[in-house]
Amino acid sequence: MVKLIDIALANNPATRQAWENARAREMEIKQAESEWYPQVTAAGDFTKEKKVAHPKDDNLNVRNYGMQAEATYMLLDFGGRDAGVEEATQLILAANFEFNQALQDLMLDTEKGYYGLYSAQSSLEAARMDADDAEAALIAARRRFQVGLVSKLDALQAESNYDDSLYSLEEAKGNLKSAEGTLAEILGFSSDTKFEIAVPSGEMPAGITEEDVSQLIEEGLQRRPDIAASRANLRAKEAAVKAANSDLWPTLNLGGSAEKRWYEYFGESKANKDHYDYIGYLNVKWDIFDGFYNLARRNAARRDAAAEREKLKQAELEASRDIWTKYYNFKTAARKLVFSEAFLDAAQASHKLAADGYSTGLKSILDLLKAQSQLSDARSKLIESRKDLFVSLAELIHATGSLHAKGSSTGVDQ
């Protein structure tokens, strides 16, 4: 299983997409931090003007060019810049947690895809065994009909049962191909990629007690990346409230500018003149009245934060229910596996007695076909219960925010 997960993490585009989204949020921190630096601008211009007039004293021929530079720095903004940086920081934390969640989701999908393929392989093997049993019953029925021990109805019923087993066999083959395509997609491969998987090995842990549920829920709420992302989003919304609130107050700015211009006059005599201009200032800017825009923006930010707070509570409730449900799914799957194993043992014994009894004339064809049907059902239930146990354990581990199922071991050969 570890190798399968490594392949999926390296090839599946979902994780790379989540990673790029997280890196994009990182640049938003840089944008917010830029507010703490001075703003410097530079400009230059060139103009040429020529005027021909009568009388000639009004003629004009001049070139004018210059350069300007201006720098401003905000000294005080009542916490707006700090809040902007905090908001961007929390958003990238949320994006990183969402990336972690994408990794865990992919790991779960890989495990479910693997167990789905393993179950499909086991179902195909069971379908072949069912077909073999049905064929043996058909041969026995035909033999007994040929010697006059049973009516033709026995042979027809056995033949019908055999045809039905062949139908199920073809269906199992199709399900196997579908499972192969599903796992290939999760691994990031084309659906026609050929690969082989090893069967699961190791004992499945089933020693989780009833008293562990509350601890699992508590640990899950602290560990799950999606919950951590929701908390980071809430902190970002709270920072946005501070940023919006700062816009209601004045800002103190320090600035300065410098300019130099050159003038060249052409006429009967050429003349050059230079001009210098330096300005320094300290200003206070306060939007005394803006149609209540900033006030409405602050109130909207508060409402967004309140909604995000309730969203977090809902996410925690859903996570608690998810862990609770996955825990009891696992406990149920563990018990179902025990009963399915006992069912298979009984069905195998019943089928053997029915087959022997039909050969000696002590059992009817209906008894044999019923025993075969129960054996087929027992095989299917055992395969399904094994899959349910593997998957429910993987889902429980995923629900608690862990990375792997302790105590289980699987392999893959590519």
List per-block mean pLDDT (blocks of 10 residues) for the chain, which spans 414 residues: 78 82 83 90 88 64 87 92 93 91 92 94 96 95 90 93 96 95 91 84 61 83 94 95 93 92 70 82 89 92 95 95 93 93 96 93 92 96 94 92 55 36
pTM score of the predicted model = 0.80
The answer to whether the beta carbons of residues 280 and 255 sit under 8 Å apart is: yes
Q: What is the pLDDT of residue 407?
A: 41
The answer to whether the beta carbons of residues 19 and 197 sit under 8 Å apart is: no
Residue with tokens 């829920």: 217
Give the tokens for residue 258: 């410098």
2-37+96-250+294-408: CATH number: 1.20.1600.10
Distance of CA 326 to the CA centre of its chain: 19
The answer to whether the beta carbons of residues 161 and 372 sit under 8 Å apart is: yes
The domains of the chain are located at 2-37+96-250+294-408, 41-76+251-285
Q: What is the pLDDT of residue 202?
A: 59
CA angle 206, 212, 215 (to 5 degrees): 135
Q: What is the pLDDT of residue 408?
A: 41
Strand arrangement, sheet containing 271-285: 39-51, 60-76, 251-265, 271-285
* C-alpha closest to that of 307 among 245, 247, 241: 241
* C-alpha closest to that of 97 among 25, 5, 32: 25
Q: What is the pLDDT of residue 61?
A: 76
Amino acid sitting at position 363: K
Task: Name which CATH class applies to 41-76+251-285.
Answer: mainly beta
Q: What is the pLDDT of residue 203?
A: 64
* C-alpha closest to that of 233 among 90, 71, 37: 90
Q: What are the phi and psi torsion angles at 58 (to 5°)?
A: -90, 0
Q: How many CB atoms lie within 10 A of CB 299?
A: 13
